[in-house]
Structure 1
Amino acid sequence: MQIPTSKSKFNDKSETEAERRIERLILHLNPNPHLVRNTWNQLEMETCSRGKLIVDAISLSGYMRGKHRDIQDKVFEYFNANPHLQTPVEISKDNHRQLCMNQLLGLVKEAGIKPLHYVVHDPVKYFAIVEAAGSVDMSLGIKMGVQYSLWGGSVLNLGTQKHKDKYFDGIDNLEYPGCFAMTELHHGSNVQGLQTVATFDPITDEFVIDTPNDGAIKWWIGNAAVHGKFATVFARLKLPTYDTKGVSDMGVHAFIVPIRDMKTHQTLPGIEIHDCGHKVGLNGVDNGALRFRSVRIPRDNLLNRFGDVSRDGKYTSSLPSVNKRFGATLGELVGGRVGLSYSSVSVLKISATIAIRYSLLRQQFGPPNQPEVTILDYQSHQHKLMPMLASTYAFHFATTNLVEKYAQMKKSHDEELVADVHALSAGLKAYVTSYTAKSLSICREGCGGHGYAAVNRFGSLRNDHDIFQTFEGDNTVLLQQVAADLLKQYQRKFKGGTLAVTWNYLRDSMNTYLSQPNPVTARWEGEDHLRDSKFQLDAFRYRTSRLLQSVAVRLRKHSKSLGDFGAWNRCLNHLLTLAESHIESVVLAKFIEAVQSCPDPSSQAALKLVCDLYALDRIWNDIGTYRNVDYVAPNKAKAIHKLTEYLSFQVRNIAKELVDAFDLPDHVTRAPIAKQSGAYSQYTQYVGFE
């Protein structure tokens, strides 16, 4: 293996550096076997070259967008051909809600897109449609998700054939607009604590839906305030026992409850609906609050896939306990998290495209008596935007993989895959949406005052996306689920059990990752070593394994005095860091796989460069952890920092091609400062100049 010479740009010219070069020469004579050059290492060295890469944006875009770009282009072209359906910069709440409904009706009735068909037969294509719709207007993407993923998905996934026969066509063609009534005023993340009650009346063969107190009012229910005619209501199923107990609580179940008359659209008796009002964002979605007062529904309206009630009031289920039934019910609703993860990356692509195109356009200052330079030529601006661009690519491949896993899960119903998708969707949803929310503010700031103009979209993107961190599971709660799963996997490892697919590295290499760092490799600082994907992935997994082991020890210690709940709370920040570290490891692994699988050499070289920046930037951001355990020596930490800055510069050189590969038309990004030509002229025309 070739070792960097004394002319390496990462070496300071000092006496200590001379000693370091001698040490590296010794290592050269005794190379580490895993770093012997092969075809993959050759690619890594080629992308280290100091010249600008030549990137074919069309080929890269084809690899990125995959086989479903046609359906997305169909969505884009429909709205481009119907400007009256494009959302204006300034619009009232009520007008936005009606426009959003008209947009959805247009896609279904005029463009001929049938989302519920794809929910069942091709989930990957369905998520591609939702991503495209959300790019046009995030409210449209969410309203589509409410209608098809949540309302439609609950009927298909929690019901049986009789429900599909009765409701499928009406949901698909929007004759049955519906809601997903799970969240209550006092209960959101704790679904098992829901208080709405569904009591079986054997005399009339009906369920009686009641809201027992104000805390049980269904709140933030999308489609409820204006358009919904049905709701999937999650309530505690109670059966009469004919003894001193009176009723038996069978846990949370889902019921189809009509809320408005099909012909007159009037609210039905016993149902009270109120508008949740103007929100920070997503005002095209009509969120409402629902209260039920002795609302009677037929027994057949119980979505009975996991539990049923007979005519004489007897309960039957293929699952043995309340917890098993509850887990199975929520497991069937994981598609919402999958969709939010995927759509959040779409928002990140749009915001990164706007910020980077503007940064390549805007000039500011420069050397004396010379032309001004673009603001993306400044190292500080590269530091803001280039790691973000690298993360966008990383998240794209990770969430694409998640969508494909989800589609496989829906076909196979494999228990191991179900568990894997459940945990991975929770982690990616939490991590990606939090990152995107922070990045939107950075992009706005990176565009200065022009980023503050509503027409340039950062305000609406930021406001619309912000709730992604909360619905379909609060991010902090979801990360705790990931940490809990990791601890279960850790326990299984030492009991010889099987591990979920995502945690294979814990099974295969846990002992390696928990061993003492090699003092020799801890000092390697050559560019070829730092850009070796094995080094990068090992570093990510080492950190996760150390965090997992240390938090397991802490929990065991604190549980003796504080109990399990107290110990968990004492270690909560540690647990959240563990979950984030694991998700970063998964993201990097999928990015590396995507680079290796890319068939076009120029695209592969560009992706390798971006992948290296993603990996080394993450390592540098947590360099204290690696330094504290001597995984990285001081000189190596310095080399990582310098290389990260240099890779940011190299990615800057192909930044235009990288955002062009997202293939977002101007009529989708819509921001004047992001136009590929004539940006300033369109911007000035917008405010009234001729």
Structure 2
Amino acid sequence: MDDQTTSRAGDAADVDVSGALRRIQQLTLHLDANESADPAQRIVPRLCGGGRGRRLPAVNTAELLEYTKGRHREIQERIFDFFASRPDLQPPVEISTSDHRELCMRQLSALVREAGIRPLRYAFEDPSVYFAIMEAAGGIDISLGVKLGVQYSLWGGSVINLGTKRHKEKYFDGIDSIDYPGCFAMTELHHGSNVQALQTTATFDPLSDEFVIDTPNDGAIKWWIGNAAVHGKFASVFARLILPFQGKGGKPADMGIHAFIVPIRDMKTHEPLPGIEIHDCGHKIGLNGVDNGALLFRSVRIPRENLLNRFGDVSRDGKYSSSLPTINKRFAATLGELVGGRVGIANSSVGVLKVVVTIAVRYSLIRQQFGPPKQPEVSILDYQSQQHKLMPMLASAYAFHFATLYLIEKYSEMKKSHDDEVVGDVHALSAGLKAYITSYTAKSISVCRESCGGHGYAAVNRFGVLRNDHDIFQTFEGDNTVLLQQVAGDLLKQYKSKFQGGTFTVTWNYLRESMSSYLSQLNPVTARWEGSEHLRDPNFQLDAFRYRTSHLLQSVVLRLRKHTKTLGGFGAWNRCLNHLLTLAESHIESVILARFIEAVQKCPEKNTREVLKLVCDLYALDRIWNDIGTYRNVDYVAPNKAKAIHKLVEYLSFQVRGVARELVDAFDLPEIVVRAPIGMASEAYSHYTEYVGF
């Protein structure tokens, strides 16, 4: 070995030794700084690279709960207390499909007839109370929450929202009391999301003053109809309204999709009525407390008055009338009145996310595993990998909580004002939030199960049933991919409106500025700022989210224009579909962050505001880091700034870990909702061993 080689080797050894000494010195500082702390806490900085001289925010769980609980926690507690007092109504770990269906119906009947909860009245007097009831019922059993939604949001909602005074007077009390259990018969075997292509027909017979409901082929069989297989006596049937001899050349005139009230079972014998064939869709992956069935109609006659005629009517002499001039406008108005289902699903999905995060965090705090040599084992939540999985998820639960509170507030405003701008806002918000939140929650359930190791696989700890029951949230009330396309379509309309001098609805206001300021030449200094104060500035965070949305919108417009020339409109849309879905998700993330920042800034109590700010920063920066490639590709973030964001996300996860127990406790989930032994607030292992018989 020559002298030069020896010199290089010596230099390398010096670097290794000095680096090791620095790490030992840093570790010693951590040990000294935490010497007086609780032994279980002292190990955290060593495992997570903590420090940085920042204290953890003081958390007052009661104050945090008071600020976040919403206006209607009292009625939820009333529901929880009722079911806690009735062990016979609590769902067991193992139950057959038939038993679960009967239990679910008994639960709903008891909630209405014994506990005195009348959801339909709340749905129209104060929707925010209704959604609180729906969330609480789903906390007891997701099947119960969905069955309640079928009865009141879908069957009841269609009758009241699409009908007129005569329908409300005849059906309201019976639906509210469950004397009239009903179904929402929209989906068919061959058509779900494409409602305008439904094939079931309702042909007017002027001689008898009746509509004749027919299933023209097997593809038109109504499928997946909740409440149909066992309990339903009525159905809101969505069908093509056909007027004979009123089309061109004396042919039948198709007036588009309308809804009709169709009795399906005898009120006394409960037998299917003549011409109606009912079959059971069978055992499902989840939600087996809900009796999904299939309906086939053979020349079933109903009175003309059973047409839900708010947006279109037929007179005794067979003349059609509507305040809306086209089939498309009537169809849009009809579906628009049914948007409440999406609001309820988004809100209930957040409830599920809170449950699984609570179970996973509490278990991760008590489960100890490995640790430094000759020292006690440490909590698995002290490991950076576990924090990386769970802390951004905990932050997301809070972000979604505030976003859905805002959605419910806007929905309630829409029902009162019927203002066109608010209606458009709620349609976009409900579609986007339902799609984004349910997809995120579905993935999170599996991550939480994995985070709890083998114990997460035990049915009693609930991840399996929650995963299976929640999974369909991604599909019903609008498939998530289809809903995101609706959001993208609305964004493109807003973009077009900007250049034609139109106005933006509330949700999209930021785009007015974004098309100019956000897409202007970036300040190269700002792109490189990497200080914590800058990265935690809500203005930077919102600008980053909105810049991404604006950039995606601008670029997809150019791509669509290019491909439309050769592929046509549909072909261009399909060619850009993944881009459009990413655009929609980016917009929804911007909306969620804006609502979270607003909630933080409005919080009156300093310590609570500080802890919410910490959680909000983690939500924002974790999302930016997850899509850092986009920001790097357009030079919005320089390489060193990207590294700084990554490091800060890790550090914020570490800080949130320090208050994780208080954050999940502030969800205020009672034992009857959590139920998982490993997710109990105290003595989790004793609950677990007691369950298996020790």
**TM value normalised by structure 2:** 0.92
- Structure 1: runs of 5 or more not aligned: 1-12, 15-46
Cα distance in 2, alignment partners of residues 665 and 146 from structure 1: 25
Is 1:570 the counterpart of 2:582? The answer is: no
- CA distance in 1 between partners of 2:521 and 2:314 (Å): 58
Tell me by how many angstroms 1:603 deviates. 1.1
1:654 alignment counterpart: 659
Displacement of 1:241 in angstroms is 1.9
- Report the counterpart of residue 456 of structure 1 in structure 2: 461
Name the stretch that deviates more: 57-66 or 298-307: 57-66
Amino acid at match of 1:646: Y
What is aligned with 1:28?
none
How far did 1:508 drift?
3.0
- In structure 2, the partner of 1:33 is none
Alignment of 1:295-306 (within 5 A): 295-306=300-311
Offset, 1:622: 0.6
Name 2:600's counterpart in structure 1: 595
- Report the 3-state secondary structure (helix = DSSP H, G, I; strand = E; otherwise coil) of the residue aligned with 1:473: coil
**How far off is 1:48 after superposition?**
9.0
CA contact (8 A) 2:237 2:262 kept: yes
Instruction: In structure 2, list runs of 5 or more residues that go unmatched.
Output: 1-17, 20-50
**Alpha-carbon separation, structure 1, partners of 2:70 and 2:528:** 41
State whether structure 2 residue 611 is matched by structure 1 residue 622.
no
Shift of residue 509 of structure 1?
3.5
The question of 1:75 aligning with 2:110 is answered: no
1:389 counterpart (386, 394, 400): 394
User: Residue 472 of structure 1: SS of its match in structure 2?
Assistant: coil
- Partner of residue 99 from structure 1, selected from 84, 97, 103: 103
Q: Give the counterpart letter for 2:542 in structure 1.
A: L
Once residues 97 and 85 of structure 1 are traced to their aligned partners in structure 2, the CA distance between those partners, rounded to angstroms, is 12
Partner of 2:693: 688
1:12-23 equivalences in 2 (<5 Å): none
**Structure 2 residue 153 is the aligned partner of structure 1 residue 149:** yes
Instruction: Name the counterpart of 2:613.
Output: 608
Tell me which residue corresponds to 2:124.
Answer: 120
Paired residue secondary structure (1:520): helix
* Moved >6 Å (runs of 4+): none
Matched, 1:420 2:425: yes
The CA deviation at 1:688 is: 1.3
- 1:653-673 deviations in Å (ceiling 9; x for gaps): 000000000000112100000
Partner Cα separation in structure 1 for residue 596 and residue 220 of structure 2? 44
1:561 aligns with 2:566: yes
For residue 82 of structure 1, report the CA deviation from its aligned partner: 0.4
Establish whether residue 158 from structure 1 lines up as the match of residue 162 from structure 2: yes
Map of 1:349-364 to 2, 5 A cutoff? 349-364=354-369
Partner of 2:27: none
User: For residue 203 of structure 1, what is the amino acid of its counterpart?
Assistant: L
- Could you give the per-residue CA deviations for residues 274-306 of structure 1, whole angstroms, max 9, x where no partner exists? 000000000000000000000000000000000
1:195 and 2:187 aligned = no
Report the counterpart of residue 411 of structure 1 in structure 2: 416
Residue 34 of structure 1 is matched in structure 2 by none
CA contact under 8 A between 2:154 and 2:341: conserved in structure 1? Answer: yes
Secondary structure of the 2:456 match is helix
Aligned ranges 1:202-601 → 2 under 5 Å:
202-241=206-245, 244-601=249-606
1:634-673 alignment to 2 at 5 Å? 634-673=639-678
Give the structure 2 partner of residue 20 of structure 1.
none
Deviations 1:213-245 (A, max 9, x none): 000000000000000000000000000126744
Measure how far apart 1:516 and its partner are: 2.0
Change (3 A) 1:49 1:165: farther
Per the TM alignment, residue 54 of structure 1 is displaced from its structure 2 partner at its CA by: 1.1
Residue by residue, what CA displacement relative to the aligned partner does 1:469-522 show, whole Å, maximum 9, x if unpaired?
Answer: 000000000000000100010111111110111000001342011112210101
The count of residues paired between Structure 1 and Structure 2 equals 645
Counterpart code for 1:265 = H
Where do residues 166-181 of structure 1 align in structure 2 (5 Å cutoff)? 166-181=170-185
Instruction: For residue 67 of structure 1, give the secondary structure of its aligned residue in structure 2.
Output: coil
Contact 2:352–2:466 under 8 Å retained in 1: yes
Per-residue CA deviations over 1:44-84 (Å, capped at 9, x if unaligned) read xxx99611211011111111112200000001000000011
The one-letter amino acid paired with 2:385 is S
- Whole-angstrom distance in 1 between the partners of 2:70 and 2:571: 47
Which whole-Å deviations, capped at 9, do the CAs of 1:97-150 have from their partners, x for residues lacking one?
000000001110010000000011000000000000001100000000000000
The CA distance in 2 between the partners of 1:245 and 1:415, in whole Å, is: 38
Indicate the RMSD between aligned Cα atoms, in angstroms.
1.2
SS of residue paired to 2:202: strand
Looking at structure 2, the residues matched to 64 and 148 of structure 1 have their Cα atoms a distance apart, in angstroms, of: 27
Q: C-alpha distance in 1, partners of 2:100/2:682? A: 30
1:684 counterpart letter in structure 2: T
Instruction: Find the aligned partners of 2:241 and 2:412 in 1 and give their Cα distance.
Output: 31
Q: In 2, distance between residues paired with 1:619 and 1:228?
A: 48
Residue of structure 2 in register with 1:87 after alignment: 91
SS in 1 for 2:68: helix
Provide Cα deviations, 1:373-419, integer angstroms capped at 9, x if missing partner: 00000000000000000011001100110011000000000001001
Percent of aligned positions that are identical: 77
Looking at structure 1, the residues matched to 69 and 416 of structure 2 have their Cα atoms a distance apart, in angstroms, of 23
The residue matched to 1:53 in structure 2 has which SS?
A: coil
Structure 1, 510-519 or 543-552: larger mean CA deviation: 510-519
Larger mean CA deviation between 664-673 and 505-514 belongs to 505-514
Distance in 2 between the 1:475 and 1:245 partners?
42
Matched position secondary structure for 1:233: strand
- For 2:52 and 2:138, the matched residues in 1 are separated by 37
* Deviations, residues 158-186 of structure 1 (Å, cap 9, x unaligned): 00000000000000000000000000000
Among residues 628, 631, 634, which one is paired with 2:636 in the alignment? 631
CA distance in 2, matches of 1:368, 1:398: 45
Tell me the distance in 2 between the aligned counterparts of 1:421 and 1:414: 11
Residue of structure 2 equivalent to 1:30? none
Does the aligned pair in 1 maintain the 2:221–2:295 contact within 8 Å? Answer: yes
Task: Give the corresponding residue for 2:682.
Answer: 677
Letter in 2 for 1:399: T
Shift in Å, 1:246: 2.7
Q: Indicate conservation of the 8 Å contact 2:514/2:546, yes or no.
A: no
Distance 1:676 1:660 in 2: 8
- Which letter does structure 1 place at the counterpart of 2:606? P
1:61 aligns with 2:65: yes
The 1:471–1:49 alpha-carbon spacing in structure 2 relative to 1, beyond 3 Å, is farther
In the alignment, what sits opposite 2:6?
none
Looking at structure 1, the residues matched to 300 and 52 of structure 2 have their Cα atoms a distance apart, in angstroms, of: 68
Distance between the aligned counterparts of 1:573 and 1:529, measured in 2? 32
Alpha-carbon separation, structure 2, partners of 1:104 and 1:312: 42
For the 8 Å contact 2:56–2:655, the answer to whether it is kept is yes
The answer (yes or no) to whether the contact 2:228–2:291 under 8 Å persists in 1 is yes
- Aligned-partner SS, 2:530: coil
Question: Counterparts of 2:397 and 2:250 in 1: how far apart (Å)?
Answer: 56
SS at match of 1:288: strand
- Letter aligned with residue 580 of structure 2: L
